[in-house]
Amino acid sequence: MQINKFLTIFTLLTFIGFAPLLSADDKTDIQVMMKKMIGDVTTLIQDESIPKEIRKRQIETIVAPHFDFGLMGRLSLGKKQWKKLSPKERKNFSTLFEDRVKQSYRSKLDLYTDEVVIIDDAVQVKSRIHLPTHLIRKNEKRDILYKFYKSKKRGWLIYDVDILGVSIIQTYRTQFAGILKEDTFAVLLEKLKTSES
């Protein structure tokens, strides 16, 4: 069973009370950061002087620091299931989940041709920020929504991505719940190790 049919890669956190008002600088910072990240990735993708696999690794080093894979994994598994796990199980799952998301991302780089990425204005959603972007190729437009939260230690990080209206986290959560309904957590870990992106 495939673990991720995405990409190509969140019920989200509950908020109590009023969300703090974020500054315009927060939204601007995210837009500037994403424009630079996407520009750097596009430049590498188009640089055929660098071997493909090396390019993929270099792109990963640019993109990965902007994601909170730990939070993505916990949200994908669900709070109830996460609480049941031992520290060792949590560590194993988090490592395999991060590897799975990165592998999925690398595999999708081969699908890139001459698309143009348009970044819209960032939008505050409670204490989070959403950044709508559009992947345009000829007359086709694909909507992608990046969702950010602010980490105390690392600043603004992506914790979910909606692609064509479908959340990566929600997709994983559905798949994981389906596996755990029929099998053990150990089986889920094995599927994470062996499934294709």
Q: What is the pLDDT of residue 12?
A: 26
Beta strands in the chain (DSSP E): 116-119, 123-125, 128-137, 140-151, 155-163, 166-167
Tokens of 45: 């993708």
Give mean pLDDT, residues 165-181: 95
Question: How do residues 7-52 score in pLDDT, each as one tens digit?
Answer: 333 222 222 233 344 556 899 999 999 999 999 998 998 898 999 8
pLDDT digits (tens, 9 = 90+) for 61-95: 999 999 999 999 999 999 999 999 999 999 999 99
Q: Which of 48-57, 98-107, 188-197 has the lowest mean pLDDT?
A: 188-197
pLDDT band at 5 (very low <50, low <70, confident <90, very high): very low
Tokens 């500054």, residue located: 23
Q: Rg for the chain (alpha carbons), in Å? A: 17
* pLDDT single digits (tens) 89-116: 999 999 999 999 998 888 877 777 778 8
User: What pLDDT score was predicted for residue 22?
Assistant: 52
| pLDDT at site 16 | 26
User: Do residues 179 and 77 touch, judged by C-beta distance below 8 A?
Assistant: no
pLDDT in tens, 117-161: 899 999 999 999 999 999 888 888 889 999 999 999 999 999 999
- Catalogue all structural domains in the chain, each as residue range(s) with its CATH number: 24-194 (3.10.450.710)
The single-letter DSSP state of residue 116 is E
What is the reported pTM? 0.82
State how far the alpha carbon of 97 is from the alpha carbons of 41, 54, 177, 196, in Å.
23, 22, 15, 13
Q: What is the pLDDT of residue 197?
A: 44
